[in-house]
Amino acid sequence: MHFKHPEILYFLFLLIVPILVHLFQLRRFKTSYFTNVRFLKELAVQTRKSSKIKKLLLLATRLLLLTFLILAFAQPFFEAVDSKNASNEMYIVLDNSFSMQAKGKKGELLKRAVQELLENTPENAQFSLLTNTENFWNTDIKSSKSALQNLKYSAAAFDLSAITAKIKAHQSAHKKDIVIITDAVGLKEKDIKNIDFDDKPYFIVPKAEQKNNISIDSVYINQTLENFYEIGINLSAYGEDFKPVSTALYNQNKLIAKTIINFDTKKKKITFTIPKEAFHGYVSIEDNGLTYDNKLFFSISKNKKINVISIGAPEKSNFLSRIYTSAEFNYQNYALNVLDYNSLEKQNTIILNELEEIPQALQTTLKAFVGKGGNLVIIPSEKTSASNLNTFLGNFGKILFKNLESNSKLITKINFDHPLFSGVFETKITNFQYPKTNSSFAVSSPYPSVLSFEDQTPFVTAIQTPISGVTIFTAPINSSNSNFQQSPLIVPLFYKIGQNNQKTGVNALTIGNNAPYFVDVLLTKDAILEVKGTEDSFIPIQQILNNKVKLTFNDFPETAGNYSIFDKKEWVENISFNYKRTESDLSLINTSMLSDFKTADTLATIFNTLQTERTDSQIWKWFVIFALLFLALEMAIIKFVK
């Protein structure tokens, strides 16, 4: 037992006062004369005995009364089990990712967690609240009530490492109590290992009752017909025993197609046929799982012809005119001596077809062209100077041309995973009519090959960046050196090269993906592009590149949907944004990782535990009660004991 004011215990010396009063009777007695006291003798003996007992009882009650009264003023208490952490600061981490849309016994997990915070957090408790996207430092439940009630689901996944790093960086002279409320979907073991606080945090893991969920993963052009697009839609089912799901396609919020899907497999693909024209809408489903992945917004731009130019001898470039047809491309060929350098910046793709030397002026122009998002194709000539070519290629990467080898080689390997062949082949071809070359350059390249010779050396390799591509052949492909022009591979290869980094399909960007986006628009120096939706708008980071503008969106917008890009009030093009599908699988929960941490079912349990373990047991009230009892007992003795 401890005392809050131990100095008051010195007043216990006052206990000597009633003892002295008892020992020395201060009353003076008068002698009364009676004629005869013989009959009172027996009564006097009895009175002296009862009087002595009464005085002893009064002495005892007064001593106890005074003792308990002094002890009460000294405020005795029993020290708490965890009193050393009574001054700890409280941090509450609340996961508001989309997986918290799942329904538990009492509704959506996030809404229920917010309700528990509002109901069970003591009004005088100071704490800091951290969510996936927002931080509220040193607040209380009254101040944060409005923010909690208006808390929205976040497109950012729950990153425990990043949040705990913020808590560690928050300077404080006190230790930290951390309560983490998360459904643990996607929680990684490395996030748990990074927790190195002195006291391990509490985890509250609300459980979803309904774990079945269907997600729309992607939309793409499956096939392009003369007047129609065949739209392919990929869906994933997580869980078991799914009912048929209604799927609808909307353009400008107008229903244009609808169907029912039966999930006999975990992955499902359906197709819709739509007119071959601009599209700005979404595909949606209706299921009982999460709602954030029930819509996928996408846009299809009106077809624009792609500008392609080849530089080289016309007789060696005739095959390109048969690939880059006027229906989809603006194709032109120029000999080097008649080339207009000013026209190059207007091109999307430039092909150097068997130039013997690349002039320095052309090298400088092409370096700027690639740096601003253009595609470049280099086909060497047998007479090409390796040193001249290497000087030029040094502007783009680490490919190094060596000597020309005059031996026949077969082209036998296709890199089906390369971006230039994505969506070209339905199945991987292992046996096809191998084209060949009679002579080729030996090269040193750290980049993956697109096509390879039988000796695993590259025939076509590419330097891919987020904004441009440089495709390099290692052998001439004229008809005297190779039969590659007669190979069925030449059309899809050059077609994909021409379309590389061009908007020729479905536009469905992912929020948080920082890959640059290019808009074909000619802006003045001080002009700014703005992205507008139905509810919000923002200005992305932008860079003017000749007849294009490079946009970087970072974490904008916050809400998925269909948007449009404007130059002041003039519409430029449509664009669509969607949430990442990383939260769709509710089975990605591994609570065994939390076995070394303290867990609780509710926030009220944690607050009660902390209060019980860290609050001293005050017992001075009991001493006051006992003092009053002895006072009452003294009065009873005086009144009733004779």
Q: Could you tell me the end-to-end alpha-carbon distance of the chain, in angstroms, rounded to an integer?
A: 40
Domains of the chain, each with CATH number or no CATH: 2-79+618-640 (no CATH), 83-210+587-615 (3.40.50.410), 306-499 (3.40.50.880), 506-578 (2.60.40.10)
DSSP 315: G
Tokens of 202: 């509490």
Assign 247 to helix, strand or coil. strand
Quick one: pLDDT band at residue 82, thresholds 50, 70, 90? Answer: low
Specify the residue for token string 């052309």. Answer: 362
Checking if the pLDDT of 41 tops 60, the result is no
42 sits in which H/E element: helix 41-73
Q: Say if residues 308 and 351 touch (Cβ distance below 8 Å).
A: yes
Asked which of 58-62, 117-121, 235-239 is least confident by mean pLDDT, the reply is 58-62
Return the ∠ at Cα 94 (arms to 84 and 297), rounded to 5°: 165
The residue that leads in pLDDT, 580 or 58, is 580
Strands 469-473 and 375-379: parallel
Q: How far apart are CA 4 and CA 289, in angstroms?
A: 57
- The backbone region for 485, taken as left when phi is positive above 0, alpha when psi lies in -120 to 50, beta otherwise, is alpha
Instruction: Using the predicted structure, report yes or no on whether residue 86 has a pLDDT greater than 70.
Output: no
pLDDT at 128 > cutoff 90: yes
pLDDT at 64: 87
Q: HSE (CB half, 13 Å, CA atoms) of 638?
A: 10
304 has a pLDDT exceeding 90 = no
Q: What is the distance between the alpha carbons of residues 469 and 366, in angstroms, rounded to a whole number?
A: 12
DSSP letters along 334-358, please?
E-GGG--GGGGGG-SEEEEES-S--
pLDDT of 467 over the 80 cut = no
Summarize pLDDT for 180-238 with one digit per residue, the tens.
Answer: 999 988 888 887 877 766 667 889 999 998 889 999 999 988 887 778 999 999 999 99
User: For position 499, what pLDDT does the model report?
Assistant: 79
Rounded Cα–Cα distance for residues 583 and 217 (Å): 12
**Can you tell me the distance from the alpha carbon of 624 to that of 630, in angstroms, rounded to the nearest whole number?**
10
C-beta atoms surrounding 214 within 10 Å? 25
In this structure, the chain runs to a length of 642
Report the distance separating Cα 517 and Cα 498, nearest Å. Answer: 17
The confidence score (pLDDT) of residue 37 equals: 58
Distance CA(413)–CA(429), nearest Å, equals 9
pLDDT range class, residue 309, cuts 50, 70, 90: very high
Helices (H), ranges, 74-157: 109-120, 145-149
pLDDT given at position 335: 93
In 121-181, alpha helices (H): 145-149, 160-169
Handedness of CA 425, 427, 429, 432 (dihedral sign): negative
CA angle, 552 then 518 then 308, to 5°? 155
Task: State percent of the chain over pLDDT 70.
Answer: 89
What 3-state class would DSSP assign to 38? helix
Confidence of residue 242 (pLDDT cuts 50, 70, 90): confident
Instruction: Tell whether the torsion through CA atoms of 488, 489, 490 and 494 is positive or negative.
Output: positive
* Residue 31 scores a pLDDT above 70: no
Banded pLDDT at 54 (limits 50, 70, 90): confident
pLDDT at 25: 59
- The tens digit of pLDDT for each residue in 367-399 reads 999 988 889 999 999 999 899 999 999 999 999
- Lowest-confidence region among 16-20, 22-26, 317-321, 461-465: 22-26
pLDDT digits (tens, 9 = 90+) for 505-527: 788 999 988 888 888 888 877 88
Instruction: Please state the three-class secondary structure of 201-230 as a single string.
Output: CEEECCCCCCCCEEEEEEEEEEEECCCEEE
Those residues with Cβ within 8 angstroms of residue 289's Cβ, 6 or more apart along the chain or in another chain? 102, 210, 211, 212, 213, 214, 238, 239, 586
Q: What is the pLDDT of residue 334?
A: 94
Rounded to the nearest integer, the mean pLDDT of the chain is 86
**pLDDT higher than 90, residue 411:** yes
Across 267-286, average pLDDT = 94
Q: Is the pLDDT confidence value at 29 over 70?
A: no
pLDDT of residue 129: 94
Task: Give dist(CA 371, CA 606) in Å, integer.
Answer: 57
Listed residue (192, 618, 413) closest to 178, CA to CA? 192
